[in-house]
């Protein structure tokens, strides 16, 4: 097994694409006819753009959604798309969705774990687990585990988990992942859930590549026009320097944000590009494999293009294995990749 921490895999491959590349650029020449994709949260923001792109390329797409009505409204008119119910904080709901899909007997070519919540006040699921961890990581781990037979059947499937630069806000706290003994800080909760996304992809790829399944985590970039930060307090954005005292996004910041078509490009590229046929378990951004952040990258929140690079702790093989074992314990889901 190659050690991710020495940067063997985690370095740009000079894909020919960049931060300005759009879904239209990366899907060019790719035919998804006869392929099946599942995109969680594929009815808003970059998830919706991902679904539209897959549909234009000929795929059949299932969108698991918590808000069925909103999903059906937003996906109206897009061909070959079906909406199904799921709540990533409710294990029985995940199992019911997966069981229904597996009953179709279809191979699953692309799974995009795209749904997520960000910067929410402290909430817990019925198990007592913190909501950002439960939604962003635990729910997607369980979903991927349940869908494994269909992924394996595809003989070349890809699993994309939408992470974030936010992983830089916190490593995974193995001692107290659910904030039972430490004070809750929403940015710490979000950060560790995104670190978990990266580590999950490392551990999944190590197990799944023998079956032709590759896993990737991605940072879409700072995207204009998504509703991800809808419940975050304005003071947070002002503290980061992105919004003025009246709560308006600063024009100079807005000018540097990605469009939704640019934001979804890395998801689509990782899900479909032949350039990644022999690579996996890496964190990608700006439509390429990201470079390790060894303290050599200056980050400024009012310059979204500087928010790049991946922390070594979040692609470390040892941490990835430790998280896999803990996640199986927390979810009660044994994810045997065989």
* pLDDT, position 242: 61
Bigger pLDDT: 132 vs 250: 132
Q: Is residue 142 part of a domain?
A: yes
Averaged pLDDT for residues 168-172 = 96
Q: Is residue 12 part of a domain?
A: no
Q: Does the active-site annotation cover 190?
A: yes
* pLDDT, position 5: 47
Lowest mean pLDDT among 119-133, 163-177, 216-230, 235-249: 235-249
Distance set, CA 297 to CA 56, 86, 152, 170, 222 (Å): 37, 39, 38, 17, 17
Averaged pLDDT for residues 247-256 = 65
The parent domain of residue 77 ranges over 23-331
Catalytic residue among 165, 190, 283, 313: 190
Query: Which residues, 6 or more positions from 49, have their beta carbon under 8 angstroms from its beta carbon?
Result: 23, 260, 261, 263, 264
* pLDDT, position 255: 60
Tell me the pLDDT band of 9, cut-offs 50, 70 and 90. Answer: confident
Q: Is residue 139 part of a domain?
A: yes
On the CB side of 24, CA atoms within 13 Å amount to 4
Q: Is residue 14 part of a domain?
A: no
Q: Is residue 44 part of a domain?
A: yes
Averaged pLDDT for residues 258-267 = 94
Q: Is residue 4 part of a domain?
A: no
Q: Is residue 264 part of a domain?
A: yes
Task: Name the token pair of 257.
Answer: 């944000």
Distance set, CA 187 to CA 133, 204, 312 (Å): 12, 26, 19
Which domain CATH number covers 132? Answer: 3.40.50.720
- Average pLDDT along the chain: 92
Give the pLDDT confidence of 41-65 residue by residue, as tens digits.
Answer: 999 999 999 999 999 999 999 999 9
Q: Is residue 8 part of a domain?
A: no
Counted domains in the chain: 1
């Amino acid at each position: 097994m190659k050690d991710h921490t020495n940067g063997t895999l985690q370095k740009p491959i000079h894909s020919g694409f960049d931060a300005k590349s759009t879904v239209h650029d990366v899907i060019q020449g790719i035919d998804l006819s006869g392929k099946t994709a599942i995109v969680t949260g594929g009815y808003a923001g970059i998830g919706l753009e991902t679904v539209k792109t897959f549909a234009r390329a000929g795929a059949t797409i299932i969108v698991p959604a918590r808000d069925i009505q909103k999903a059906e409204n937003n996906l109206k008119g897009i061909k070959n798309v079906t909406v199904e119910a799921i709540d990533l904080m409710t294990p029985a709901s995940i199992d019911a969705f997966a069981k229904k899909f597996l009953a179709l007997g279809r191979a699953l070519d692309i799974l995009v774990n795209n749904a997520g919540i960000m910067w929410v006040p402290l909430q817990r699921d019925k198990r007592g687990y913190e909501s950002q961890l439960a939604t962003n990581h635990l729910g997607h781990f369980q979903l991927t585990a349940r869908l494994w037979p269909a992924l394996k059947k595809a003989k070349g499937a890809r699993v994309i988990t939408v992470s974030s630069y936010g992983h830089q806000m916190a490593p995974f706290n193995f001692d107290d992942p659910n904030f039972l003994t430490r004070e809750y800080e929403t940015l710490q909760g979000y950060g560790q859930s995104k670190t978990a996304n990266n580590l999950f992809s490392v551990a999944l790829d190590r197990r799944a590549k023998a079956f032709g399944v590759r896993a990737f985590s991605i940072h879409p970039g700072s995207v204009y026009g998504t509703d991800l930060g809808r419940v975050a307090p304005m003071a947070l954005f002002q503290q980061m320097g992105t919004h003025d005292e009246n709560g308006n996004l600063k024009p100079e910041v807005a000018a540097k944000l990605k469009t939704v078509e640019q934001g979804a490009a890395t998801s689509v590229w990782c899900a479909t590009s032949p350039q990644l046929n022999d690579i996996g378990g890496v964190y990608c951004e700006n439509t390429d494999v990201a470079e390790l952040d060894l303290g050599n990258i200056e980050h400024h929140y009012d310059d979204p293009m500087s928010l790049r690079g991946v922390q070594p702790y979040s692609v470390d093989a040892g941490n990835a294995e430790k998280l896999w074992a803990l996640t199986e314990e927390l979810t009660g889901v044994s994810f045997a990749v065989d």
